[in-house]
Structures are given as structure tokens and as C-alpha cells.
Structure 1
């Protein structure tokens, strides 16, 4: 009888321990602030990561990198940060761990489907008959765009300057503008027509990732940031058009 009671008690303890462990794992949610250009690939990454890390759930907040930085400075609860440039991340050194570069990207010109205005070069964007939309200068995509236009001594008067690169893409895809400059990976997400920018005229965007020091789930956030450099994550990024870090 005593042996039976002992066995039952042991079984109950194991069951309770497993239940508590399971409950604890389900409650661990890692909030990631991520650049808008990562929207599509990170949604794919979420499914892959949660499958291999059953104790962690990911939630993302996508916006322009400058908006994400403002959120960090305001103390918005979050665990990890991924920006589309090193300048923004470097400006948050006191708030993050040492960042790691997870990917690179390049810029491209996007036009309305079929390129009806016959845009073939960066210089064409200066034409007065075109409605061009760009990301705002404080946005990484806007800063990169300004850099490549200035380097070619091209002056573009945009009809609007958007808060993130996805907004630029939306304006062109909805035919509210004739053309814009976005990341190559973003162009894949719509039916817009792309016009390649030669490598000698282009800029390379770096994507650093880091854990936020105020995270309440430091270990899980560290694990996610580390996973972004893994073969599994890198394959997803390559498939989405991002380049190796």
C-alpha cells in the first residue's frame, strides 16, 4: 500500500511539474520592435521560431526605424530591436546589448505596373512630369535614398515623404505616385515594376539586431537574436531577397 501511495504521489508530482512548466512556457512572450521592411519575412520567421522554441511566443511591432528608436527611448515594453540601419541602433547604445548584423539589403526604383512613364535611371526621377514619393530623411530608407541621389547630383522634389518604406511602396502600388525608392525586398511584395539601380550608384542597408536591456525576458530575447544568425533564419532571409550579413 505504501509503495502504491508513493508511486501515485510521484506520478502526481511529475504531472504537476509538467503542467507548471507548460504553463510557464506559454506565458513567455517576446516582443520584437522591427523595421517595416522586415514585415513579411519576420511573419514567416515567427512560425519557424515558435515551432523550434515551444516555450516562447513572438509578437512584432513594425515601423520605421526612427519610430522604433523613439519607442525605446519612451520606455515602451519590448524585448528586442531590429533596425534597418546601424546609425539608429548606435544611437541606442545605452539601451541595448551589443548588436549583431543579421542581413543586408539594397535599394531599387519602383514604378506603377508596366512602368508607363518610362523610368529607366535615377536621373529620370528628377523629371518634372513625374510624381515621386520617398521615405522621409530621418527614415533609414529615406537617408539611403538621399545619399544615392546626392552622390549622383540628382535633385528630386518628392510629392510626399513617408514615415516608412512600406508607405512609399503603398503610394506607388496604389498609383498615387509614379515612382519611389524602396528596398529590393519590399518591391517583391507588390505588383509594382522595378528598375534596378547599378551597384556603383546604390547603397547597402545593414540590419542590426539586439536585446533591449530593460527586457523582462532577457534569455528568450537573446535566444531570438542569436537565432536570427542561424542557418534556418538566414535561409528565410535569403529567400525573401535579403543578402548575407
Structure 2
């Protein structure tokens, strides 16, 4: 039976519960899944500092769950995605890359609904990295903190509707929920804005299923080639012995 690891790279129990609800709905038998959050680090990821710190904090989860058939990285910034694809043998899917990949099949231009205003620059940078600017209508912020989405659900849905309509005016015909904390809002939002809305957690889980069921693997001969053996200096000053070993795993001699 195939088994997926769904990683929440922040430390929020509430957001992890929302991610788990979506993942367990997708991964029906013969699939199963385990949903785990970072053992340490930021409670929500809203800056480059948060992204880069989280990318290291999730590494212990790889050792705790070594025999999974695939990994879903459940944060829309895809923090640490390239690192994971370098060192993990099983397929790894980021929920943002999954969402934009689906959007290309479903419409002409996609727009992203994000949390804080700061997220606009983060999303713009990610879309440039993925080379998709010609198909990108932009990111519209809700001007809300990530951890407030579920607690203030009615306010969040109203903000999503306003942002969705603004992105439609910019030419978006597919909307992406730009945060794993927004998982579960799709039906209510689609009823208001009348365009396709993609749930990132569901997109990541379903694309991982398709990749594994098709017998496909991440190529390790190009951009995701195994890292060369590296002389690591004084890592013990910053990290535990276990973390140092994790940071060195996956190297090529």
C-alpha cells in the first residue's frame, strides 16, 4: 500500500489539523498518509527568514518517516522544495508548484490569493523562479495573518471574494489559494466568484498520487542532482549531532 508523508513546515497545530483533514480526504485506500509538522521553527511562514529557517527545521521528519512513497510539502511558498528533491529518493511535490501546474491546464491566466501584503513580493518571486510570468495575473493580498484564517472564517471568506474579483479584473480565470491555511475554502469561494479555484493541499496530494501511481521519479541528473560531498565546518556549533548527520545525507562521494 502506498504511503505519503504530508509535511507542514510550520509549527501550528491548528493549521496542521486543517492540512490533515484535506490530505486524509484525498489519500483513500489503497493509499494512506501521515501528516507531520516541523518539530521546531516559526508558527507561520510569512517572510524569507521564515521560509529558510523552516526548510532546515523539517529535515528531522525525513528520518522519522524514511519509508514513505512520496512527500507533499504543504506550504504555498514551497520552502526547501529544491533541497528535498536533491536528497530524497521518493517523489516530492510542493503545493505551490502543483497548483500552478494544474492552473496551466485549466485556464489562460492564474491569480494567487495570499495573506499579508508582504506575500505579494514572495509570490512574484516564486512565479519568476517557475518561469510562468506570461500566465500570471498577479497576487492579491487579504491583508490578514495566516493564523487568523480559520478563526475568523467569515471575514476570511469575504476578503477572499474581494481579492478574487480583483484578480478576475486583471484577467485571471483560475484562482489559487496561496496558503495551506486556506485549505477547505474552495466550495464557498467558487460559489461567490464563479471561476475555478484550486486548493493547494488537495492539488499537491493528488499530483503526488498521479506521479507515484504512474511510476515516475524526480530526475537526479540535472537541477536536482545529488549534492557533491562537501567539507562542512563547525556545524556542531549550531546544530545537534543528529541534525549535522541529516544535513550531510544524500551527498555524492
TM-score of the pair, normalised by structure 2: 0.35
Higher RCO, 1 vs 2 (CA within 8 Å, ≥6 residues apart): 1
Higher strand share: 1
TM-score of the pair, normalised by structure 1: 0.35
> Which entry has the higher C-alpha Rg, 1 or 2?
1
